Amino acid sequence: TQRVNLSTAPEFVFVGLSDAPEIRLLLFALFLLIYLATVAGNATLLVAISTDSHLHSPMYFFLGNLSLLDLLCPTITVPKMLGALLLQHRGISFSGCLFQHFSLIAVVGTEIFLLTAMAYDRYVAVCHPLRYPSVVSTRLCARLAAGTWAAGLLNSLLHTSLVFTLSFCGAHEIQQYYCDIPPVLALSCSSTRGRELVILAVAGVLGSSACVVTVVSYIYILLEILSRNSPGIWHKACSTCGSHLTVVCLFYGTTICTYVRPSFSYSPHRDRVVSMLYGMLTPLLNPIIYSLRNKEVKCALRRVISRVRSAL
């Protein structure tokens, strides 16, 4: 078996896409529509949050960061995939694959930490409403946002350095439509057990810590709701926390299925479906979830749309 260092490989080839012309063009049209809808939804939400004074609060500051991440996530992978479907050029250079991998893991990591910060924000809003403006200050929001982005980038730097210093054998065919950890690790002919353990340990510690903070925040929220037992408290809590809780369940469900498992259990066909759910549908659904469940966001979006119509 030919042993090749990854840095000398001219390019990799994505084989996660169908070669049948009729399916290929259908997939191109479908993914293009989903991508355009995702960009439109998140960009509109970003414009509404930045321009509408009613949405200048910590909750919507974090939501704006989430929308930015949901813009970046499909933009990292989908344009290349659309080019492969339309032009049938499925190759990607070493540097392009490395950059795509680093960017994607950075966005995933940042979103995990951001959703945790949003859970803390919801905890303070429900359990300490009178102290909320002083506790969740503009300064704290800026620090939390900067911390989530920095943690996501450092986490991605570690993962990318572990994966892209391996040796690989034979054809560089990635069983996926983008450069991700499981399909790249599957190409290696050297032992990946040690690096997999480090990746799983780091991801496990960071992911479980974020998950614990989120779960504990919602336990306190639930206990606070039960202790008050006042009329309309459940409806108010759902309007305050429902959107975030839905997004958290959607995000963690698809992320755990994609990353939290050893490479020997990697199944290309199953993983493509899960990756589609995470990489395309989650960023599309997040702005819809927040728009449908939040009256302030609905009103702000109407004002943005009306301003665009009047400008046109």
pLDDT per residue over 163-210, tens digit each? 888 777 766 778 788 888 878 887 777 777 888 888 888 888 888 899
If one counts the domains in the chain, the total is 1
Q: Within a domain: residue 106?
A: yes
Residue 1 lies in a domain: no
* pLDDT attached to residue 296: 79
Summarised one tens digit per residue, pLDDT across range 25-58 is: 888 888 899 999 999 999 988 988 898 888 888 9
Sole residue written with tokens 């974020």? 210
Residue 220 has pLDDT above 80, yes or no: yes
Q: Would you place residue 4 in the very low, low, confident or very high pLDDT band (cuts 50, 70, 90)?
A: very low
pLDDT of residue 67: 93
CATH of the domain at 128: 1.20.1070.10
Burial letters for 176-204: b for 16+ Cβ neighbours within 10 Å, e otherwise? Answer: bbbbbbbbbbbbbeeebeebbeebeeebe
Q: What is the pLDDT of residue 170?
A: 63
Give me 283's structure tokens.
């960023």
pTM for this prediction: 0.85
98-108 exposure pattern, b = at least 16 Cβ within 10 A, e = fewer: bebbbbbbbbb
Angle between helices 233-259 and 193-228 (to 10 degrees): 170
Question: According to the model, what pLDDT value does residue 162 have?
Answer: 87
Task: Please indicate, yes or no, if residue 3 is contained in any of the structural domains.
Answer: no
For residues 223 and 71, give the distance between their C-alpha atoms in angstroms, rounded to a whole number: 35
Residue 93 has pLDDT above 80, yes or no: yes
Of 9-13, 89-93, 287-291, 298-302, the least confident: 9-13
**2: helix, strand or coil:** coil
Comparison of pLDDT for 20 and 310, the residue scoring more: 310
Tokens 């982005």 sit on residue: 149
Phi then psi for 256, rounded to 5 degrees? -65, -45
**Where are any strands of DSSP class E within 132-214?**
167-169, 173-174
**The one-letter amino acid at 264:** F
174 three-class SS: strand
Residue-range definition of the domain harbouring residue 175: 20-311
Assigned token pair, 150? 């920095």
Burial 152-169 (b: 16+ CB within 10 A, else e): bbebbeebbebbbebebe
Distance CA 275, CA 277 (A): 5
Q: Is the pLDDT of residue 133 over 70?
A: yes
Residue 123 falls inside a structural domain = yes
Supply 292's token pair: 């449908």
Q: Closest Cα partner for 97 from 201, 168, 24?
A: 168
Question: Is 101 inside a domain boundary?
Answer: yes
Cβ(209)–Cβ(151) below 8 Å: no
State pLDDT tens for residues 284-311. 888 888 876 677 787 888 887 888 778 7
Phi-psi region of 232 (alpha: psi -120 to 50; beta: other; left: phi over 0): left
Q: Note whether residue 112 is domain-resident.
A: yes
Judged on CB neighbours under 10 Å (0-12, 13-18, 19+), 170 is exposed
Q: Residue 251: its pLDDT value, please?
A: 80
| Residues β-bridged to residue 11 | 93
Residue 267 confidence (pLDDT): 60
Q: What is the pLDDT of residues 222-275, one digit of tens each?
A: 888 888 777 777 777 777 787 888 888 888 877 776 656 555 555 655 666 666
Please indicate, yes or no, if residue 11 is contained in any of the structural domains: no
